[in-house]
C-alpha cells in the first residue's frame, strides 16, 4: 500500500487507521481509533478519508492481486451480493431509507455491492461498489458535497446505476484483469439478462437466482423445457432433486433442494 501515499506520515496514519478497524472496539468512531493509535485527537486519521490524496481503486486492485497470490484457481467462483450498513444521519454518501438484509427491513442505511473470490484454499473480497439511490443521483449538489467523483455526477444518468449494473462492472473488471474463475453465483437481484449474456460471451458459467415467474426455454437438452420457473420446478419428479448443504449456519446445516441440469 505504501506507493499509494506521498508522505511517510500519511502512511503511518493509514496503518493506524487499519489497525483500528481490525481492533476489538465494537464502535469504530474517529475518537476511538485515535485513542487506540495513541493520537491526541482524530484529525490524522480523518485526514486519510477526507483530505489525503490517494487512489481507492488502485488500493482495490492491490487487495485483489494480493488475494490471488494465494487463492488463484481456475475453478474458483466469483460471488456477488450486497449488504447494508446501518446509519442514523443523512450526510453519509448514498445513505437512504431502503431495504437491507442486514436488518431484514427498510431502514436508513448505505448499500454496498461486493464481489468475493471463493476458491478451494479460501475466500476474500476483491471488489466493491457503493450503490447510489435515485434520491442521491437526482441531487447533484448533494453528491458534490459528499465528494462523489465528478465523472459520476456529470455522467449521462447522473451517476445512477442499478445493483445489477454495478455487479456487471465488477465482473467485467475481473475478466479484464484476467482473474481466474469458472462461475459467477448471485441471488435473484442479479439474475438479469445483461449479466447472463456477458458471462456467456466470456465463456463463464453462472448460477443466478431468478424470480418464480421468470420464463425459460431450453435447447440442445435431452429433455425439452419451457415455461415459468415455478411451473418447471413443480413439474419435476421427486427423483430429479438432490438435497445439498450450503454449509453450517447459526441454526445448523443450510439445506437446499437442487436440480443441476435438465
Q: Which of 186, 206, 226 is the last residue of a domain?
A: 206
* Strand, helix or coil for residue 182: coil
pLDDT tens for 174-198 read 999 999 999 999 999 999 889 999 9
Residues 120 and 107 in one domain: yes
Same domain, 44 and 64: no
What's the whole-number mean pLDDT along residues 134-152? 91
Q: Are 210 and 227 in contact (CB under 8 A)?
A: no
Name every residue whose Cβ is closer than 8 Å to that of residue 195 and which is 6 or more positions away in sequence: 164, 167, 168, 171, 184, 186, 206, 208
Q: Are residues 139 and 82 in the same domain?
A: yes
Domain count, the chain: 3
Residues 235 and 196 in one domain: no
CB atoms inside a 10 Å sphere around CB 155: 13
Q: Are residues 112 and 180 in the same domain?
A: yes
Phi, psi at 8, each rounded to 5°: -60, -35
Residue at a domain's end among 164, 187, 206 = 206
pLDDT at 156: 62
- Asked whether residue 240 falls in the same domain as residue 116, the answer is no
In the chain, % of residues over pLDDT 90: 52
- Please indicate, yes or no, whether residues 38 and 118 belong to a single structural domain of this protein: no
* 258 within 8 A of 242, measured Cβ to Cβ: yes
In whole numbers, what is the pLDDT of the chain averaged over residues? 89
DSSP 197-252: HHHHHHT-EEEE---TT-EEE--SSSS--EEEHHHHHHTS-GGG-EEEEEEEETTE
- Tell me how far apart the alpha carbons of residues 80 and 170 are, in angstroms, rounded to a whole number: 9
Host domain of residue 226: 211-262
Which string of DSSP letters, residue by residue, matches 13-62? HHHHHHHHHTSS-SS--HHHHHHHHT-SSTHHHHHHHHTS---HHHHHHH
Alpha-carbon distance of 77 to 68, in angstroms, equals 13
pLDDT in tens, 24-69: 877 777 888 788 778 888 888 888 877 788 899 999 999 999 999 9
Give the CA distances from residue 4 to residues 9, 48, 60, 67, 168, in Å, rounded to whole numbers and listed in that order. Answer: 13, 12, 11, 18, 27
Residues 174 and 106 occupy one common structural domain: yes
Q: Does residue 105 share a domain with residue 30?
A: no
Domain shared by 95 and 126, yes or no: yes
pLDDT in tens, 91-138: 999 999 999 988 889 999 999 999 999 999 999 999 999 999 999 999
Residues 63 and 150 in one domain: yes
Cα–Cα distance between 216 and 135 in angstroms, integer? 35
Q: Are residues 161 and 190 located together in one domain of the fold?
A: yes
Q: Give the distance from CA 53 to its chain's centroid.
A: 24
Confidence at residue 46, expressed as pLDDT on a 0 to 100 scale: 82
Specify whether the CB–CB gap between 123 and 117 falls below 8 A. yes
Domain ends where: 173, 206, 239?
206
Amino acid at each position: 500500500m505504501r506507493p499509494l501515499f506521498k508522505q511517510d506520515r500519511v502512511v503511518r496514519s493509514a496503518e493506524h487507521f487499519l489497525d483500528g478497524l481490525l481492533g476489538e472496539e465494537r464502535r469504530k468512531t474517529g475518537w476511538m481509533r485515535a485513542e487506540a493509535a495513541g493520537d491526541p485527537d482524530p484529525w490524522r486519521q480523518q485526514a486519510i478519508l477526507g483530505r489525503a490524496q490517494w487512489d481507492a481503486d488502485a488500493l482495490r486492485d492491490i487487495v485483489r492481486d494480493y488475494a490471488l497470490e494465494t487463492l488463484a484457481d481456475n475453478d474458483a467462483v466469483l460471488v456477488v451480493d450486497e449488504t447494508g450498513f446501518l446509519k442514523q444521519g443523512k450526510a453519509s454518501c448514498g445513505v437512504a431509507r431502503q431495504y437491507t438484509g442486514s436488518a431484514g427491513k427498510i431502514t436508513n442505511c448505505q448499500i454496498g455491492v461486493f464481489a468475493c473470490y471463493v476458491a478451494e484454499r479460501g475466500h476474500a473480497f476483491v471488489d466493491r461498489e457503493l450503490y447510489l439511490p435515485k434520491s442521491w443521483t437526482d441531487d447533484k449538489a448533494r453528491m458534490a458535497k459528499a465528494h462523489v467523483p465528478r465523472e459520476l455526477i456529470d455522467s449521462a444518468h447522473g451517476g445512477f446505476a442499478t445493483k445489477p449494473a454495478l455487479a456487471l462492472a465488477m465482473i467485467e473488471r475481473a475478466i479484464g484483469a484476467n482473474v481466474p474463475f469458472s462461475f459467477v453465483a448471485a441471488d435473484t437481484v442479479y439474475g438479469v439478462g445483461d449479466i447472463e449474456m456477458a458471462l456467456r460471451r466470456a465463456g463463464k458459467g453462472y448460477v443466478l437466482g431468478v424470480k418464480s415467474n421468470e420464463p425459460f426455454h431450453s435447447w440442445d437438452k435431452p429433455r425439452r423445457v419451457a415455461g415459468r420457473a415455478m411451473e418447471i420446478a413443480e413439474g419435476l419428479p421427486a427423483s430429479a432433486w438432490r438435497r445439498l448443504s450450503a454449509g453450517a449456519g447459526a441454526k445448523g446445516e443450510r439445506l437446499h433442494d437442487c436440480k443441476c441440469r435438465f
